[in-house]
Amino acid sequence: MLALSGISLSSGIALGRAHRLQPRELEIPRRTIEPDEIETEIARFHAAVEATRRHLDELIANLEKKTPGAHATAHEFLDTHRLLLRDPEIIDGTVTAIRDTACNAEWAVQTRQTAIADSFAAIEDPYLRARIEDIEHVTRLIIEALTDGRAPVLLNSPRLQGGAGDLAGRIVVTRVLSPPQVTLLHQHGVSALVLEQGSSFAHAAILARSLGIPALIGVHSALTLIKEDDELILDGHYGVLFVMHSDRLRRHYRDKQHDLAFQVAADLDAKEPIKTKDGVALDIYLNTEEPAEIAPPRGSGLAGVGLMRTEFLFLDRRPADEESQLAHYRAMLAAAGGRPVTIRTFDIGGDKLLAGDRPQGGGENPALGLRAVRLGLNHPELLRRQLRALLRAACDGPLRILLPLVTTAGEIRQVRRMMQQLIADLPAAEHPPAEHLALGAMIETPAAALAIHTLLPEVDFVAIGTNDLSQYTLAADRLDPAVGYLYDPLHPALLRLISHVIEQAEARGIPVSLCGEMAAEPKYAGVLIGLGLRAFSVHCGAVAALARRLKTLDAGRCRALMQRALKDPDFDPQALLAAIDGSTQPP
Ligand code: PEP
Ligand code: MG
């Protein structure tokens, strides 16, 4: 078995056969044309621009039919491309080039594109330079339309010559994609995307997410290592791609996928608060980056957003600017409709490395290096920009700012000072109301858990991240399948740390939730209830099953079982789960 890692764009799971798309190399010969051919050549160029426009229009129309909810984001990106088809720099510039140099249209478009790229390269602003990618995509489409005189070939695949659905269930492996290409693949039923490059993928990445296509980017040498028709499993949560895996692994993921599909369909009943059998009230929050998931009616029974990861805003060559971050945060607050939204500052580094040369923790051991809040404090300009957007968003509703991978109280104090300074510098109209703002820490390191008493005076809430807390406590890399057997949420060391954090937070009246994957697994719900947890934060697919499970539990009994288990020298996790199961009853 081969396991490749990449940067995951969504937490979905996909199983399917590989379809490789080798990038098509375009040959663009230069032809000198006679003076009396110039107008015909210009007309040919305009016809190709029209063919490209029709093609993009068709993509948008199909998209609206197929995925009505997603078309706003797709529109935005495809519109950028459509607008470029009217850009005088490209269009008039090409016409002038044909006239002045008496060359064929393909060559004129190509030289125009190179000239624009060169002028962008001279500009310092990386955002403007990033725009060259869109221009490259569009000029390539025009050249393709010119080359065969028909619609541009968005992707060079025999499977795409047939009707929509020819890629149904396929996992496409390629180097890089543009937004129109992602849209086309979506229309052909592709189930997931694996890309070798991450740096030039930003718009397509956001689009893939909004279309609900699981995708991994930055999977090095994917086209070399993966053959056509190889069976693949993409685990979007851990950012891993399995190639040539075992039947057992396939069964495991099929079950998981089935559960997700089933659970996503079920809604949480807003009218009935979630209570254990013995009447203990519980909250379920959502881990999400998609406002649609929390918006009523679907998410109306949820207490709010317990974790919005923001790494996706930093995937672009240039991290999202303040205004576009603000738009994302506001959209989430609007969807939550007055319920609290917890937004985590960027957790870059460790397993969440970004492509390109942007600041990120490297070092011999990135998981122990400059990651998350450490990276933010080391690159205060990035963190300040995000905090400013968050503070401005907090005018719209209750927002909880969550700091990832906190290790010391000093880190929280530094961020709080930064926030105070930012507020002081904001115009009065944009000062967030104090009751809208909370600052919290993720408890993800053994240091933070053991020294929780030193962190609690600095925070308004804490969120336990068991994905990392397990990795750091058990010294088992969360991405390394070879030590996966050690990565056990029921290890007594981990249970003791969780118990300690909850106990201390409760004693000081600081709200505590748990947002690692452990919370989403119904079989651990009794354990967590027994450790005193009352707020779970899980991804959308896990909500319904968790709610069902919670209603079957007796909190008092779980508490007694856990108190015993924590002290038991013969602690047996399976026996504990069986004992909890034995005490459940249908709600
Ligand atoms: C965690 O570590 O449990 C967590 C929720 O954060 P992430 O999985 O994004 O590292
Ligand atoms: Mg984490």
The 10s digit of each residue's pLDDT in 505-556 is 999 999 999 999 899 889 999 999 999 999 999 987 788 889 989 999 999 9
Give the residue whose CA is nearest to atom 7 of ligand 1: 467
Q: Can you give the pLDDT at residue 556?
A: 97
The predicted-structure confidence for 256-314, as pLDDT tens digits, reads as follows 776 665 444 444 666 678 999 999 999 999 988 878 778 877 677 899 999 999 987 87
Residues, CB-to-ion distance under 5 Å, ligand 2 = 444, 465, 468
Ligand 2: distance of its center to the CA of 278 in Å? 32
Reduced to 3 states (helix: H, G, I; strand: E, B; else coil), residue 463 is strand
The predicted-structure confidence for 364-422, as pLDDT tens digits, reads as follows 788 898 889 999 999 999 999 999 999 999 999 999 999 999 999 999 999 999 999 99
Q: Can you give the pLDDT at residue 265?
A: 41
Ligand 2: distance of its center to the CA of 514 in Å? 11
Greater model confidence, 5 or 70: 5
Residues with CB under 6 A from ligand 1: 307, 309, 347, 444, 465-468, 515-516
Per the document, the length of the chain is 587
Query: Which atom of ligand 1 is closest in space to residue 466's alpha carbon?
Result: 3
Identify the band that residue 200 occupies on the pLDDT scale cut at 50, 70 and 90. Answer: very low
Tell me the best of 309, 310, 374, 487 to mutate to test the pocket of ligand 1, counting ligand atoms within 8 Å of each CB and taking the most.
309
Distance of CA 347 to the CA centre of its chain: 12
Give the residue whose CA is nearest to atom 4 of ligand 1: 465
Greater model confidence, 313 or 442: 442
Identify the band that residue 186 occupies on the pLDDT scale cut at 50, 70 and 90. Answer: confident
| Number of helices followed by number of strands (H, E) in the chain | 23, 16
- Region 480-489: mean pLDDT is 80
Which is nearest to 218 in space by CA: 362, 321, 315, 360? 315
- Region 457-468: mean pLDDT is 97
- Report how far residue 502's alpha carbon sits from residue 514's, in angstroms, rounded to the nearest whole number: 10
**74 Cβ contact partners less than 8 Å away, ≥ 6 residues apart:** 60, 63, 67, 179, 183, 207, 210, 211
Are 539 and 11 in contact, with CB atoms under 8 Å apart? yes
Question: Nearest ligand to the C-alpha of residue 239?
Answer: 1
Are 518 and 466 in contact, with CB atoms under 8 Å apart? yes
Identify the band that residue 125 occupies on the pLDDT scale cut at 50, 70 and 90. Answer: low
Give the residue whose CA is nearest to atom 1 of ligand 1: 465
Ligand 2: distance of its center to the CA of 313 in Å? 17
Percent of the chain with pLDDT over 90: 51
Q: Can you give the pLDDT at residue 201?
A: 41
Ligand 1: distance of its center to the CA of 224 in Å? 31
DSSP 39-85: HHHHHHHHHHHHHHHHHHHHHHHHHHHH-GGGHHHHHHHHHHHHHHT
Would you name the residues annotated as active-site residues?
A: 203, 515
Tell me the best of 347, 477, 497, 514 to mutate to test the pocket of ligand 1, counting ligand atoms within 8 Å of each CB and taking the most.
347
- Report how far residue 420's alpha carbon sits from residue 440's, in angstroms, rounded to the nearest whole number: 15
CB-count burial class (<10 Å; 0-12, 13-18, 19+) for 265? exposed
Tell me the best of 467, 479, 494, 537 to mutate to test the pocket of ligand 1, counting ligand atoms within 8 Å of each CB and taking the most.
467
Percent of the chain with pLDDT over 70: 84
Ligand 1: distance of its center to the CA of 381 in Å? 24
Reduced to 3 states (helix: H, G, I; strand: E, B; else coil), residue 231 is strand
Question: Nearest ligand to the C-alpha of residue 539?
Answer: 1
Mean per-residue pLDDT over the chain, rounded = 85
Question: Nearest ligand to the C-alpha of residue 237?
Answer: 1
Greater model confidence, 158 or 280: 280
Q: Can you give the pLDDT at residue 101?
A: 93
Are 425 and 366 in contact, with CB atoms under 8 Å apart? no
Ligand 2: distance of its center to the CA of 405 in Å? 7
Give the residue whose CA is nearest to atom 3 of ligand 1: 465
Which residue has tokens 């961020």? 415
Are 172 and 193 in contact, with CB atoms under 8 Å apart? yes
Q: Can you give the pLDDT at residue 264?
A: 47
Query: Which atom of ligand 1 is closest in space to residue 309's alpha carbon?
Result: 9
Backbone angles phi and psi of 339, in degrees to 5: -80, 155
